[in-house]
Amino acid sequence: MNDRRRLILLCVITLLPVGFAAAENCLEVVADLSHPYSIGWGIDQANHRLQHDTQISRDNVGSLELAWVYGLSSDKPRSWPLVTKDTIFIGDTGNGVVALDRDTGRSPHEGEIGSAILMGKVNDQEVLIYTDRSAGLFAVDARDGKPIWHGQVDDQPVPLYSGTPLIHEDLVLVPISSAEIGLPLNPFYGCCTTSGGMAALSLADGQTRWFRPTIQTPPVRTGGHWLLVDEYGPSGAPVWGSPTLDRNRGLIYFGTGQNYSQPTTDTSDAIFAVEVQTGEVRWHRQFTSGDAYNLACDVSSDHPNCPKPSGPDVDFGAPPVLVRSQKGEDLVIAGQKSGEVHAMRPEDGALVWSTRVGRGGALGGVHWGLAANEALGLVFVPISDVAARSGPGAPRPGLFALDIATGEIRWERSRTARCADRVCAPGLSAAITATRDLVFAGSLDGFLEAYDANTGEVLWRHDAWRGYAAINGVPAEGGAFDAHGPMIAGDQLIISSGYNTFGQKGGNALVAFRLPGSAP
Amino acid sequence: MSDHDRPLAGRGRRLLASLIDACLVPALTVLLILVTGILESAEAYRDQMWVAQVLGLSILGYLMLNGYLLWSRGQTVGKAMLGLIIVNSETGEQASIWRLILIRAWFFPVLFLTLAPPLTILPLIDLVPIFFGRRRCLHDFLAGTMVVTRE
């Protein structure tokens, strides 16, 4: 009899005299929080997005079958699950954090959970760490969802906690972007004064240990527009993606976005290396200069708050990946919305190689995340190439495998539009996830596919552009795959389908696939 | 002729008068937002205080535009242009200033804030009673007023 069955039996015996109320408490104890399948947004802290802990392989992926669907409450779900031995934690906007397979873990927090969910330990007790996009960082008891602390960064007036934090020792490293990307839509807003940054909060109590703004120069008035509103700069350089940990060097790496106003800085569209304990900048390297943009430019380039000149909005949304090449050389590899992938030396940021893969644009190029397989010497690059402030040339939506050491394209798998019954956007915007011999990617036109990591051959496909019968009774609809992408855990593949933030097809289906014959 | 004997305002004229006010008050509110600069700084958005500030300015704009006319003649600018007057529904006399300011003046800015769905239903609910009896909107009932013609 295994431990779980022993606990259930113990609960049943205990239940007899103490009644139904005790039953709930007992079931809470049964939830097994051991064996988490990820320790960060990148599954590992180097952001490889490579799942070793799975039975899904090239040989059996073709038999993956739909196991169950959970109906989420948002049609643009933006949370990534944490999977433990027997529990799946997922942010379900409106319902807070829910723990599937058990009724425990329901949090009283009901904001827009914008990140993956992490697990850490406070006073020997497992806590879930996640962000609400506007309200900050939350730590809740993993067993019952009770709040432990709520942290915010006070250094900026309108921070957005959009990226997934990273837990390292007693710190929670939190990427900070800013609502100022959208506030300039209001022509009466004096654009712009905030800086993106990286914050380190105490895992024990959520207090800020350090905050490193990506723009050190204080903003000053730079002029005014015809509505008699003052203009300010520099601003922007937000951090949208999770940091990447380099344990050996004591560094974290992260990418920044564009400036929100003129003048621009040399820290926008850049990769930073920062000392993890102090927040001191070791180096930063800019890849696109002069990129000033905010959402007012999407209304019109004549909008009074659109910077003049405005830029292409080609930030680094995807976290960098720290890899070791087959020659034993460490590299920081970063994919940019420009459609380029860059490799740098971790010591000083010196450029080793740079490869243009896609046409690029405001929605990628590389949008959410790469994956890497050091054993194969490959970094996998999903290209969106949605038409939005696009770069030059023809779009190249699809999946590419680049040689880690040289940046040469080893294979590519273009995706073509299927316009008859769906939005003509075949690209890969969502982050991807790899295994030892596979790469899983969800497309904007609703296909979830498994590629052979060695050749790019598509070995399995699921069309999510459909309705599902959900286990929780909520009408569930699939749609575009975007945002955090697939999670692989043991014999399971879990992914949210639907995301209508930028005109894609919305949906609310959390879909789980499983190898046949494996235990639930 | 006492105000009590004046004919009830037609629904079309009331609507037109309201539309005039609905253009003038936001326009002045926008001007006040510009002058005060309350939406210019990121700090204003830190704790959503800007919502209360805009509401306050819209009430101020309403009073700046209509306050004197309401006090002296029981009219807003729109109603003055269309020859309408707000009177006490029981006496037919010009409505007292506290009814016009403390109840009606609050009502309209709040309604403006309900333009966003799903609250849009509230202004429609306000309008329903105008199609019955003495053509009084919900806010007329709350303020104890009705609208008659000036002639």
Nearest-CA neighbor of A206 among A272, A143, A254, A136? A136
Q: Residue B4: which residues within 8 A CB-CB, separation 6 or more?
A: B87, B91, B92, B93
Residues in B closer than 8 angstroms to A225, CB to CB, are none
Across chain A, mean pLDDT equals 90
**Position A286, amino acid:** Q
Each residue's pLDDT tens digit, A449-504:
999 999 999 999 999 999 999 998 999 999 999 999 999 999 999 999 999 888 88
Q: How many CB pairs under 8 A join A and B?
A: 35
HEC per residue, A439-491:
EEEECCCCEEEEEECCCCCEEEEEECCCEECCCCCCCEECCCCCCCCCEEEEC
Considering all CA atoms of chain B, what is the largest pairwise distance in Å, rounded to the nearest integer? 56
Phi, psi (rounded to 5 degrees) for B104: -70, -40
Nearest CB to A157 within list B30, B33, B43:
B43
Q: What is the pLDDT of residue A22?
A: 35
> Edge-to-edge, what's the strand order for the sheet holding A492-497?
A65-71, A509-514, A492-497, A487-489
Average pLDDT of A52-79?
A: 94
Which positions 26-45 of B are in contact with A (Cβ < 8 Å)?
30, 33-34, 37, 39-43, 45
Interchain proximity B34–A194, CB inside 8 Å: no
Average pLDDT of A179-197?
A: 96
Each residue's pLDDT tens digit, A66-89:
999 999 998 888 889 999 888 888
Q: Report the DSSP beta bridge partners of residue A343.
A: A333, A353
Nearest CB to A183 within list B30, B34, B45:
B45
Residue A43 has pLDDT above 70, yes or no: yes
Residue given tokens 């051991």 in the structure block: A34
Q: What is the pLDDT of residue A104?
A: 39
Each residue's pLDDT tens digit, A419-447:
777 878 999 999 999 999 999 999 999 99
Instruction: For residue A102, name the pLDDT band (cuts at 50, 70, 90).
Output: very low
Q: What is the pLDDT of residue A111?
A: 63
Q: What is the pLDDT of residue A8?
A: 40
Q: What is the pLDDT of residue A438?
A: 98
Sign of CA dihedral B91, B93, B99, B105: positive
Interchain proximity A189–B34, CB inside 8 Å: no
Average pLDDT of A347-369?
A: 96
Which pTM does this prediction carry? 0.86
Greater confidence (A358 vs B103) lies with A358
Each residue's pLDDT tens digit, B80-112:
999 999 999 889 888 888 888 877 767 766 666
Residues in B closer than 8 angstroms to A179, CB to CB, are 42, 45
Q: What is the pLDDT of residue B7?
A: 85
Distance CA A192, CA A180 (A): 7
Asked if A252 and A314 count as a contact pair (C-beta separation under 8 A), the reply is no
Average pLDDT of A289-313?
A: 97
Distance CA A153, CA A172 (A): 12
Does B47 lie at the interface with A, CB-CB under 8 angstroms? no
Beta strands in B13-139 (DSSP E): 84-88
Greater confidence (A435 vs B14) lies with A435
Q: Which of A54-58, A142-146, A201-205, A436-440 has the lowest mean pLDDT?
A: A142-146
Residue A4 has pLDDT above 60, yes or no: no
**Position A382, amino acid:** P
Residue A7 has pLDDT above 80, yes or no: no
Q: Which of A241-250, A399-408, B81-90 has the lowest mean pLDDT?
A: B81-90
Asked if A499 and A76 count as a contact pair (C-beta separation under 8 A), the reply is yes
Q: Which of A260-274, A293-307, B56-70, B126-140 has the lowest mean pLDDT?
A: B126-140
Distance CA A88, CA A277 (A): 31
Instruction: For residue B18, name the pLDDT band (cuts at 50, 70, 90).
Output: confident
Average pLDDT of A220-247?
A: 96
Residue A153 has pLDDT above 90, yes or no: yes
3-state secondary structure of A227: coil
Q: What is the pLDDT of residue B109?
A: 62
Q: What is the pLDDT of residue A518?
A: 66
Residue A23 has pLDDT above 70, yes or no: no
Q: What is the pLDDT of residue A236?
A: 98
Can you read off the two tokens belonging to residue A451? 């590629």
Average pLDDT of A203-215?
A: 97
Vertex A339, ends A338 and A342: CA angle to 5°?
Answer: 90
Can you read off the two tokens belonging to residue B64? 């700046």
**Position A414, amino acid:** S
Instruction: For residue A409, name the pLDDT band (cuts at 50, 70, 90).
Output: very high
Average pLDDT of A51-64?
A: 97
Rg (CA), chain A: 22
